[in-house]
């Protein structure tokens, strides 16, 4: 199957879409456990859903989507699980490289710290970013080795190294990895917390939670979240 099929007919219409959508892909382990499978099987199923939902965001015309794929804390998981996740990123990138044509207009960007990631994977990440950077479709940020606090600290350190002695909100907004505001954060699996995801960008985010486990998350669930977002009255503190 093509990685991201070419832009197809719009599958749904919304009067307002989030400019930047954040998705916490949670519940892979529980999904696998329910089926008597190893946790790694849940991550494999989750990776397929990541591709399906990316494609649907592109179909709908959402400008930017950030997927939480691996946090700075996830290194503490068993080696087999960490290796499986790294292999899934690797396979996704190889597939993307072999199938650039079919990936349509999607722009891929990896956000997070580079240390700890193998040089082979880093090279594939750089290739994918370079190859897709000239496109004008949906920007898919894949947060790998990412932590929201670490992102803010890294932005501040970059500003210090540029000689800044006083830092403004705009300075930090310009130096976080993604666009500075996230309009909607989706978290499946029944957990209702942010888990160090997009801390700066979430200042005025709407949240949408669901009990569905990520490997079962469908385009229909995405549409439900977007139609609820459409109805929210956003006041930005005013």
Residues classed as catalytic: 26, 74
Q: Which is nearer to ligand FPP, 18 or 46 (CB)?
A: 46
Minimum gap (Å) between residue 13 Cβ and ligand FPP = 28
Q: Which is nearer to ligand FPP, 69 or 226 (CB)?
A: 69
Residues near ligand FPP (CB under 6 A) are 25-30, 43, 46-47, 50, 69, 74, 85, 88-89, 92, 142, 214
Q: Which residues pair with 110 in a beta bridge?
A: 142
Q: Do the Cβ atoms of 182 and 208 come closer than 8 Å?
A: no
Helical packing angle, 39-60 and 79-98, nearest 10°: 40
Q: Which is nearer to ligand FPP, 85 or 125 (CB)?
A: 85
Minimum gap (Å) between residue 190 Cβ and ligand FPP = 9
d(CA 197, CA 204): 14
Minimum gap (Å) between residue 47 Cβ and ligand FPP = 4
**DSSP alpha helix (H) spans, the chain:** 28-34, 39-60, 79-98, 119-132, 148-161, 169-175, 219-231
């Amino acid at each position: 199957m093509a990685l991201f099929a070419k832009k197809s007919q719009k599958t749904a219409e919304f009067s307002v879409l989030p400019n930047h959508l954040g998705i916490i892909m949670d519940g892979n382990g529980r999904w696998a456990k329910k089926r008597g499978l190893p946790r790694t099987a849940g991550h494999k199923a989750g990776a397929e859903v990541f591709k399906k939902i990316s494609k649907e965001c592109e179909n709908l015309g959402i400008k930017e989507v950030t997927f939480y794929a691996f946090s700075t804390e996830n290194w503490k998981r068993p080696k087999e699980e960490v290796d499986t996740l790294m292999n899934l990123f690797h396979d996704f990138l190889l597939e993307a490289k072999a199938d650039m044509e079919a990936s349509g207009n999607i722009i891929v960007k990896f956000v997070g710290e580079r240390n700890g990631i193998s040089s082979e994977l880093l090279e594939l990440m750089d290739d994918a970013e370079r190859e897709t950077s000239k496109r004008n479709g949906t920007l898919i940020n894949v947060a790998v080795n990412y932590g929201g606090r670490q992102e803010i600290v890294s932005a501040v350190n970059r500003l210090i190294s540029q000689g800044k002695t006083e830092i403004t909100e705009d300075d930090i907004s310009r130096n976080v990895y993604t666009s500075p505001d996230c309009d909607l954060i989706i978290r499946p699996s029944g957990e209702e917390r942010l888990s160090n995801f997009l801390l700066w960008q979430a200042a005025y985010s709407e949240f949408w939670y669901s009990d569905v486990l990520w490997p079962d998350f469908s385009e229909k669930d995405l549409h439900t979240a977007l139609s609820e977002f459409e109805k929210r009255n956003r006041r930005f503190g005013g």
